[in-house]
Amino acid sequence: MNIRNVLVPVDFSTASQHAVDFAVSFARKCRAQLTLLYVEEPDKAEKEDANPRLNRLLEMLPPGGSDDLYVQTRMRNGNVEDEIRAAIDEEHAGVVVMGTHRHGLIRRLLGGSVTEDLLRKMPVPLLTVPADAHLTSLTRILFATDLTESSREGFRYALELARTLGASLIVHHSIEPIPISYGGSMPVVDDPTDRKLLMEHVRHKLSELESEGSSQQVVVVSEVTEGAATGKIVSAAEEAGCGLIVLTIHYKGLLERALLGSTAEHVVRDAHVPVLSYPVIDVSNPIEEKIHPRTAMTDPSATT
């Protein structure tokens, strides 16, 4: 895997410190350089000396624990989101690591956090680390898939990441009905024949992924659950002791996003382990649609 630079935007919060702690280990395993970034608002940048904040960036690194890493610090002035995206290009970042906070509904409706905003439009994978994350070894990774063609690209990324980290990969697929807000009803697949056919197709697709993993010398184990995808994904990762969740994500409209969110965004908010969101171009073709015209993922704009 060619991740040359791991970019970590920080605001000196507890969440940022968790992100740095994880990023140090992640960059070391990927043999990548580590870049710590602080974005200063323009009005403050003109009045305050930058040296104290540069020193604080270095203080976020573990004492003597990053001697084998090439670490650089960067300070930029301007809009946080714009400057992070500019830094991605200029530093040739292969992944961005950011801490997340728990925000309520009102905050999300008003715009959410910087991390969540970037989640919807990041050009490279975004690895989010909860402030209360249970950081464990990266020996097991869970990849959540809806078995669309677009999620296949995410699977290949997760597979390469697992090989780089020397980890096993759990491929998780959750079958859930279309909610009423999308014109569906519960349950969608209520015919025994349809359900059996659906499960056969799902198992067949998952077996293909297992075979692809075997050809890449990565242990891939698949599992199927039924129910709300977010809860099933988070629970499966915790029960298996996974140190990382990987999923694919793409964009959606502002109003729909504010009112309904997406499976990916809910997983990022609810998970107690780091989550890597891999951006893809969507191809809306859930495997369930081949079995039943009204069967699909809960959120057609996030491939999980």
Integer Cα distance of 254 and 200 in angstroms: 36
- CA-closest candidate to residue 8, choices 82, 52, 61, 62: 61
Task: Tell me what pLDDT residue 40 has.
Answer: 87
8 A C-beta contact, residue 7 and residue 123: no
Which tokens sit at 230? 């977010």
Integer Cα distance of 271 and 263 in angstroms: 12
Q: Domains plus CATH for the chain?
A: 5-130 (3.40.50.620), 140-290 (3.40.50.620)
8 A C-beta contact, residue 44 and residue 20: no
Task: Tell me what pLDDT residue 175 has.
Answer: 86
Task: Tell me what pLDDT residue 14 has.
Answer: 87
Integer Cα distance of 277 and 244 in angstroms: 11
pLDDT tens, N- to C-terminus, the chain (304 residues): 779 999 999 989 888 999 999 999 999 999 999 999 999 877 765 556 677 888 899 899 887 656 678 999 999 999 888 999 999 999 999 999 998 875 543 334 334 466 666 777 788 999 999 888 777 889 999 999 988 888 899 999 999 999 999 999 999 999 876 544 434 444 455 567 777 888 899 999 999 999 999 999 999 999 999 888 999 999 999 999 999 999 988 655 444 444 445 788 889 888 999 999 998 865 444 444 444 333 333 343 344 4
8 A C-beta contact, residue 29 and residue 119: no
Task: Tell me what pLDDT residue 185 has.
Answer: 44
Integer Cα distance of 16 and 53 in angstroms: 14
Integer Cα distance of 85 and 108 in angstroms: 21
Q: Which residue has the tokens 């409209």?
A: 253
pTM, entire model: 0.81
No. of helices (H) and no. of strands (E), the chain: 11, 10
> E strands, the chain, where?
5-9, 33-40, 71-77, 95-100, 126-130, 140-144, 168-175, 220-226, 244-249, 275-279
Task: Tell me what pLDDT residue 281 has.
Answer: 64
Task: Tell me what pLDDT residue 27 has.
Answer: 94
